[in-house]
Amino acid sequence: MEKELAKNYAPQDIEERLYAKWLNKKYFQAKVDKSKKPFTIVIPPPNITGQLHMGHALDNTMQDIIIRFKRMQGYNALWQPGTDHASIATEVKIIEKLKSEGIDKEELGREGFLKRAWEWKDEYGGRIIEQLKKLGSSCDWDRERFTMDEGCSKAVTEVFTRLYEKGYIYKGSRIINWCPVCQTSISDAEVEHEEQSGHFWHIKYPVVGTGEFLEVATTRPETLLGDSAVAVHPEDDRYSHLIGKKVMLPLVNKEIPIIADAYVDREFGTGVVKITPAHDPNDFEVGKRHNLPEINVMNDDATINQNGGKYAGLDRYEARKQMVAELKELGLLVKVEDHVHNVGTHDRCNTTVEPLIKQQWFVKMDELIKPAVEAVKSGEVEFVPERFDKIYFNWTDNIRDWCISRQLWWGHRIPAYYCNSCGEVTVAKETPSTCPKCGHNHLTQDEDTLDTWFSSALWPFSTLGWPEETEDYKYFYPTNVLVTGYDIIFFWVVRMVFSGFEYTGKAPFDKVLIHGLVRDSQGRKMSKSLGNGIDPLEIIDKYGADALRLTLITGNAPGNDMRFYWERVEASRNFANKVWNASRFIMMNLEKADGLNSEPDALTDADKWILSKANSLVKEVTDNMENFELGIAVQKIYDFVWEEFCDWYIEMVKPRLYSDTDTTKNSAIWTLKKVLTTSLKLLHPYMPFITEEIYCTLLEMDGRNSEDESIMISNWPEFEESYEFSKQEEAVETIKTAVKGIRNVRTDMNVPPSRKATVIVVSESASIREIFENSKVFFATLGYAAEVKIQEDKTGIPEDAVTALIPGAAIYMPFADLVDVEKEIERLEKEKVRLTGELNRVKGMLSNEKFVSKAPEAKLAEEKEKLEKYTMMMAQVEERLSQLKK
């Protein structure tokens, strides 16, 4: 029995079945094939703690659209999947789970903790992958990687040792972001800057031996305990006489120098800044220039340490409170100003991050970054949209050495080994058996792990087998496009680019397609705290993955944020229904037709018009997709399918399909099938499930087995010059304009579609008359015509005929055909009585002085507006009655 489409479109009935079929048939699989050109995308690896959210849904839908498009174009398309171990996020989750069981991380010990971590990863780590599959993601799942699998770990160790040997990795004391709760250094990517209400405390620093004071403003008075100097601008005349002198540091009662440094903004505040090298990244740089001592006044838990004197042991905020009170007592607190400023917080625990000087492992960035800058300047790596170049350069121009060590257990352990006898540090790929310096065999590995971004920076090539020269690596690398949100452009993209050049000698990808955030309908960022997040899986369960995908891409422009509206999901689902129902209609007519395997000899103007339109659409959509204008492309497909194909062409051909004598019936059916097939292929990357179900049903009807065929591996449509029918396009557009004109007139006159009228087309142009002659059959249907007459002049047209004008022609319809005059007079007389009553009531109220004097302004204005409206309506009714009674 032939397969047929279900009566109603139900995504729940098809999506799981089709995805299983694709997996079973290995359609997503990419193998080295040198006869084909490769096209590679690496997935931005989601965290193993991850739950699919709208950002993931957008990012992965965009990648899937591109990879499906390229697969259909004949490329050997690889979408490389995998997940990230996400050091801090995962460790936090595991610690929470242990706490719920009454287990302390430290008591468990490193080995015991890591055993639990791997168990956690095995249980929860693949959850987001299963969710991505529900979205329709066509990754080569047989190649799934994990940033801590054996191959990726080998790449990490290789990179660390290489960089160390070149002198690019070193251990030293620099300012880092420190989380006092998680008690680890964290990367810039894990610091969220949020506006907080705070204060500026203005404090007097006495200038030694002068009786003068310097006024300093600070948002963190507690760091005063670690001040090494105060600084002024070298060209600031107000303070030039004090440069080289000293101030007495309040509360600490020690002398520190007054220095000159161009870092100071003399226009901001008092033009004097305190320099605390151990607690501020900018101060750290100033301290290096002036050889200032670096005094850390905080413990790892953000309490004051022994360098804080009598404040030692106090929490940073308690110390602040006591110090401010004391400064006030001493008369050194000038004033306190309210101040809203950006404060860095840890994105995992929301604790305010403390900039601290710490002994950590760092990567020297000054040389490594140069090829990454040049690649974007030369166009070797291109951003889409281009404006993100500026943000990229802003980050690379201000690059600091990268802190890569983390005080965590989950992650790649730093391959550095310390000799317990002589203190020698050995960096090696394998654990050394003896110290190369003294021969001692008691070696201890560094306790720290590497920043998560260290391994994900290698993702485009470590996933393909590097550092081995594997066949996959040689064939699929460099990759072609990276799709990512603008919020991680610096942290991840830059690191992948410089890593690619340093370790492979090549840029890791040609293009970086940047997308924005999915915001709620009010334009707010989706977050747990606002409770405005939307679960993509709920949308998929209710409306289907295709509807979600179409919603996310419709109106989407590279780099721009988009707002999520439920109404748009409904609209996407309605479009899917439209495509389904149109396909069912076409298939029902296909069953009744013969000779569908070859192009018919006689195509009508309508057939040529839709073929030409579809042909132009193929060209435009292909160009848009090549340029990553995915939102523009799908809007064109949507408009074509809904309006041109369904609302116009299918309606145009119905009279031919329903006729037993029309000799062009077969050409109509052939054209319907061809345009439907082309439309489905163009739509497939966006809506893979519905297009596959319809396409495979079509194949079965055509006598081929759908088990061996799929739209996924069909050829992408190509522009065909033989289908350029500009003359027929003009002809049908003329008919459409006429139909729209007729419908507008009928709507204005409230004429129901069931009431047919004689339609007389008058044109002096023989070519226009010919257009209407050739299109009489469908023009009559679309124009609700009982009869169509085509003539050169107005001979025989009734005086009361209603007119619709189009370029080069006038369309006339006898008034009596449109309106039952007696019934219309009766209706208008009733309307006149109603309006008379309304006018009398309003005039009565407005002539009542008591009402006018006491009524609120808004009520008076409302009644005056009604008077104006009813007066105008009465004039229209009387004019219409006058015309009808003639």
695 close to 679: Cβ distance less than 8 angstroms:
no
User: Can you list the alpha helix ranges (DSSP code H) found in 252-387?
Assistant: 281-290, 316-329, 369-378
User: Can you list the alpha helix ranges (DSSP code H) found in 749-807?
Assistant: 766-774, 776-782
528 marked as binding residue: yes
Question: Can you tell me the distance from the alpha carbon of 228 to that of 210, in angstroms, rounded to the nearest whole number?
Answer: 20
Kindly compute the dihedral angle of the four CA atoms of residues 524, 525, 528, 532, in this order, to the nearest 10 degrees.
40
Among 404, 451, 398, 397, which residue's Cα sits nearest to residue 282? Answer: 398
The structure tokens listed for 59 are: 């990012």
**The amino acid at 558:** P
Question: Can you tell me the distance from the alpha carbon of 873 to that of 357, in angstroms, rounded to the nearest whole number?
Answer: 80
Block residue for tokens 């249907």:
781
Q: Helix, strand, or coil here: 412?
A: coil
233 close to 264: Cβ distance less than 8 angstroms:
yes
User: Rounded to the nearest 5 degrees, what angle is found at the Cα of 505, between the Cα atoms of 504 and 506?
Assistant: 90
Question: Can you tell me the distance from the alpha carbon of 280 to that of 246, in angstroms, rounded to the nearest whole number?
Answer: 21
410 close to 114: Cβ distance less than 8 angstroms:
yes
Q: Is 750 exposed, middle or buried (0-12, 13-18, 19+ CB in 10 A)?
A: exposed
User: Burial letters for 672-710: b for 16+ Cβ neighbours within 10 Å, e otherwise?
Assistant: bbbbbbbbbbbbbbbbbbbbbbbbbbbbbbeeeebeebb
Q: Roughly what angle, to the nearest 10 degrees, separates helices 566-591 and 536-543? A: 30
Question: Can you tell me the distance from the alpha carbon of 187 to that of 401, in angstroms, rounded to the nearest whole number?
Answer: 12
287 close to 273: Cβ distance less than 8 angstroms:
no
Binding residue numbers: 528
Binding residue numbers for ATP: 528
